[in-house]
């Protein structure tokens, strides 16, 4: 799912025009300005309340962040347009003056630059979205196993270690994506392996967040487990991805092969 922030006067107008141009399922994410919106309030101290009705569901609660919403949308949407959230860590289009925006446009102007920006964005992937993808494989009826690996930002190895605050990843553009797809294809040639998908995030990733996913659809568990392990090993060894580590005391770049 490709995710784009839109801010400024006329953001909703621009978003509506984009929805008409985009091919696929599009989600619009906007702030709920209503005090109640006809939705029942949380009861009995519940942290989150889901309200189901004929027009779908609405969630309220402490745990419903923008990140939570995007993660829920990723498995079955192609695009998410986030309105009027300049604080979000997203590529951003502005319909007014915004020196930090990736692109400034007129709300009624040419949409081609916005569509080009969207096409260049790294997809928002989650473990669930990748599992959903392999389950839709045309060979899924032959599968008896799905094995996964998730790598995350580790704060420290030991109690006395200086905590890591975040990691920042950069890819060798074009080369990293191509090599990842080649590894997936090579792993899928194994007997019993039906589908392999891998995704490595880029940019700033704080302590505790997910970095990389490997998902394998296979006939049986043994080939699934072996292929997941080989997949993450090959991704770390063969795909040109570089990381900067920022701790409470220092900042340094290391190659992803560590």
Q: Is the pLDDT at 1 greater than 80, yes or no?
A: yes
Query: What separation, in Å, do the N-terminal and C-terminal C-alpha atoms of the chain show?
Result: 30
Q: Is the pLDDT at 6 greater than 70, yes or no?
A: yes
At 79-115, the pLDDT tens digits run: 999 999 988 889 999 998 888 999 999 989 999 999 9
At 132-176, the pLDDT tens digits run: 999 999 999 999 999 999 999 998 888 888 889 999 999 988 899
Strands of the sheet containing 203-206, edge to edge, are 203-206, 164-171, 241-247, 251-255
The stretches of the chain forming alpha helices (DSSP H) are 11-21, 66-73, 112-120, 127-135, 175-188, 221-238
pLDDT of residue 62: 66
pLDDT of residue 38: 40
pLDDT of residue 35: 37
Q: Which residues fall within 8 angstroms of residue 63, CB to CB, at 6 or more apart?
A: 47, 48
Q: Is the pLDDT at 232 greater than 90, yes or no?
A: yes
Q: Which residues fall within 8 angstroms of residue 84, CB to CB, at 6 or more apart?
A: 6, 7, 11, 30, 31
Quickly state the pLDDT bin for 255 (edges 50, 70, 90).
Answer: low
Q: Is the pLDDT at 207 greater than 60, yes or no?
A: yes
Q: Is the pLDDT at 183 greater than 60, yes or no?
A: yes
pLDDT of residue 63: 62
Q: Is the pLDDT at 251 greater than 80, yes or no?
A: yes
Q: Is the pLDDT at 247 greater than 80, yes or no?
A: yes
pLDDT of residue 3: 96
User: Do 17 and 102 touch, CB atoms closer than 8 A?
Assistant: no
The stretches of 121-164 forming alpha helices (DSSP H) are 127-135
At 11-64, the pLDDT tens digits run: 999 999 999 999 999 999 987 653 344 444 444 566 677 777 787 777 776 667
pLDDT of residue 103: 94
Closest alpha carbon to 131 in 211, 75, 186: 75
The stretches of 122-174 forming alpha helices (DSSP H) are 127-135
Q: Tell the residue number behind the tokens 């992803």, with chain if given.
A: 256
Q: Which residues fall within 8 angstroms of residue 98, CB to CB, at 6 or more apart?
A: 7, 8, 86, 92, 104
């Amino acid at each position: 799912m490709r995710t784009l922030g839109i801010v400024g006067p006329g953001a909703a107008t621009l978003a509506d025009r984009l929805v008409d141009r985009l091919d696929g399922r599009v989600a619009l994410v906007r702030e709920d300005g209503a005090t109640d919106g006809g939705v029942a309030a949380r009861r009995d101290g519940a942290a989150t309340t889901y309200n189901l009705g004929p027009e779908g569901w609405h969630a309220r609660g402490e745990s419903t962040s923008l990140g939570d919403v995007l993660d829920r949308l990723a498995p079955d949407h192609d695009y998410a347009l986030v309105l009027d959230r300049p604080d979000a860590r997203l590529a951003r289009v502005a319909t007014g003056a915004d020196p930090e925006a990736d692109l400034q446009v007129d709300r009624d102007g040419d949409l081609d630059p916005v569509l080009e920006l969207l096409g260049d964005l790294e997809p928002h992937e989650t473990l669930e979205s990748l599992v959903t993808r392999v389950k839709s494989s045309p060979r899924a009826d032959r599968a008896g196993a799905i094995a996964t690996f998730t790598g995350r930002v580790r704060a420290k190895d030991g109690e006395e270690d200086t905590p890591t605050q975040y990691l920042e990843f950069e890819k060798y553009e074009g080369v990293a994506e191509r090599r990842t797809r080649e590894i997936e294809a090579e792993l899928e040639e194994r007997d019993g392996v039906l589908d392999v998908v891998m995704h490595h995030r880029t940019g700033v990733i704080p302590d505790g967040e997910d970095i990389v996913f490997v998902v394998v659809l296979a006939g049986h568990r043994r080939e699934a487990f072996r292929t997941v392990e080989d997949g993450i090993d090959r991704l770390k060894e063969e795909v040109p991805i570089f990381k900067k580590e920022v701790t409470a005391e220092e900042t340094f770049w290391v190659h992803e092969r560590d």
